Amino acid sequence: MWGCEITTIALYDGSSVKYYVKGQNLDDFIDDIEKYNVIVTYNGKIFDVPFIEKHFRTKFNHAHIDLRYVLKALGYSGGLKKCEKAMGIDRGDLDGVDGYFAVLLWLDYQQNQNEKALETLLAYNIEDVVNLESLMVMAYNMRIETTPFPDTYQLPMPQAPKIPFKPDSETINRIRYQAFSSPDPYQYRR
């Protein structure tokens, strides 16, 4: 069954970006994540962390902040992309690319040896983790607004790092056309 494997992981610690790709360096992720005491995810408590733990046959002992619940308490719900949009984060060329599309990018990379598909997938994954920092700061600042000290303890918005990959609009448009114009969206992969 497609889509039930870890193909890429992105890690951002507020200053540097790391990425891991199946068949290249995916196993390095476990050593790198162990350097941290806290992880921040969106819906990671239900999806990402259990999936990663099962894949690597390990258990994370990190403190875990799942922004899905933090943002829900502030009135933002839906997936990560929906919350980003509602909070004013623009994904630019990656607008409309979601988890399902990420699977299609991986398949395109695997089947067609399309390095641009892999680069687009990595740009997408890295954008996910980089945006978590901004969402966390926004959520914190929204909460601090409800206290008597809103000006004293506001955090400045973080400066996003340079993402080492760029999405390829030609690849995105081609996959979108192939996958979503067919009566059977999986047809082109057979």
Residue 4: burial class (beta carbons within 10 Å; 0-12, 13-18, 19+): exposed
Structure tokens at 112: 């067609």
State how far the Cα of 60 lies from the Cα of 42, in Å rounded to an integer: 16
Confirm whether 123 is domain-assigned. Answer: yes
Has residue 168 got a pLDDT over 50? yes
Confirm whether 147 is domain-assigned. Answer: yes
pLDDT tens, position by position, 14-67: 999 999 999 999 999 999 999 999 999 999 999 999 999 999 999 999 999 999
The reported pLDDT for the residue numbered 185 is 52
The pTM (predicted TM-score) of the whole model is: 0.91
Confirm whether 2 is domain-assigned. Answer: no
Confirm whether 179 is domain-assigned. Answer: yes
Confirm whether 57 is domain-assigned. Answer: yes
**Do residues 41 and 11 make contact, with C-beta atoms less than 8 angstroms apart?**
no
Domain span at 74: 8-189
Confirm whether 145 is domain-assigned. Answer: yes
pLDDT tens, position by position, 97-140: 999 999 999 999 999 999 999 999 999 999 999 999 999 999 99
**Do residues 167 and 123 make contact, with C-beta atoms less than 8 angstroms apart?**
yes
Confirm whether 3 is domain-assigned. Answer: no
Confirm whether 69 is domain-assigned. Answer: yes
Number of structural domains the chain divides into: 1
- CA nearest 10: which of 158, 161, 172? 161
Amino acid at 49: V
